[in-house]
Chains A and B, each alone.
Chain A
Amino acid sequence: MRSAVIVFPGSNCDRDVAVALERASGVAPLMVWHRETSLPDVDFIVLPGGFSYGDYLRGGAIAARSPVMRDVEARACDGVPVLGICNGFQILTEIGLLPGILMRNAGLKFICSDVHVAVADNQSAFTGAYAKDQVLRIPVAHNEGNYFANPETLDALEAEGRVAFRYTTTCGEVCGTGNPNGSARNIAGIFNETRTILGLMPHPERVVDPAHGGTDGAGLFDGLVKALAQ
């Protein structure tokens, strides 16, 4: 599997996700600088977490308009799977590949902690290794993770099974207590219409090795490698 990790000034999870991908696939991904105007031929693209362009204007807003994103958008539209983690999720909403937007956390605090999320839908290359409703413990680290979309969009996402992950309590209950940042309907991650694009706020790449204190994120990368090999 040939994959590319797009690196923006201010990305800081690019290496972590590269390590997670290499662990799962046995092949180191290509690191592509944001100024490139075209991508090499790849099977998978990652927009990593971080603080691209210092979160100036809005999180992900400037990165979404950087040169490399034109080709990322074109490949995504051709069906190449794209994963956006944290800042990568913000970039995907800013460029319009995913609906809604990530707003400032409701509590106005940067949140850096482990959260619990339930797999709301496992019918995708990203979530196929998990059971539906399986509860995972994955860290978040963000200031703008409060998912917002108008009620019609939220209804459509739910009706089409495009909510990938929801924040839950430790026991897997989807409720206000388990919602760290005020996200609409506890949404932690969503798919595009064809389920080839996933954006999520939690960082699966930070829990892929027992030394990380957990391995709940490994399934995402393992499942993806397996799905893309078919």
Chain B
Amino acid sequence: MKAKVHVMLKNGVLDPQGKAIEHALASLGFEGIGEVRQGKIIELELDASDRETAESQAEQMCQRLLANTVIEDYSIDIEE
């Protein structure tokens, strides 16, 4: 089973990298861009036999390592 973990800075936390991308896009001539935010995707292959186990494993991994919940939110997608 595959888990896809999305880690994003929380709303309200300044994202200077997102801002830099926003400005670079504007300087390329792209118009009408609202706020740009950058995050990361972590793909995990898991041995779990069912979806619930995979989800709970990924959840613990996020809590303990993959995200720093002081500034980051995460979401988990399980693919069978």
Q: Using a CB–CB distance below 8 Å, which chain A residues touch chain B?
A: 57-58, 61, 65, 93-94, 99-101, 103-108, 148-150, 182
List A contacts of B64 (CB < 8 A).
65
Contact with A along B39-73 (1 / 0, CB 8 A): 00000000000000000000000001110101100
B71 A103 Cβ-Cβ under 8 A: yes
List B contacts of A61 (CB < 8 A).
65, 68
List A contacts of B66 (CB < 8 A).
57
List A contacts of B36 (CB < 8 A).
none
List A contacts of B16 (CB < 8 A).
104-108, 182
How many interface residues does B have (CB within 8 Å)?
11
A65 B17 Cβ-Cβ under 8 A: no
User: Given A57-B65, A61-B65, A65-B65, A101 and B17 touching (CB < 8 A)?
Assistant: no
List B contacts of A58 (CB < 8 A).
68
List B contacts of A107 (CB < 8 A).
16
A100 B65 Cβ-Cβ under 8 A: no
List A contacts of B13 (CB < 8 A).
103, 148
Q: How far is the CB of A189 from chain B (nearest CB, A)?
A: 18
Pairs across A and B, CB under 8 Å, 16 listed: A57-B65, A57-B66, A58-B68, A61-B68, A65-B65, A100-B70, A101-B70, A103-B71, A104-B16, A104-B17, A106-B14, A107-B16, A108-B16, A148-B13, A148-B70, A149-B70
Q: How far is the CB of B52 from chain A (nearest CB, A)?
A: 25
Q: How far is the CB of A109 from chain B (nearest CB, A)?
A: 10
B70 A108 Cβ-Cβ under 8 A: no
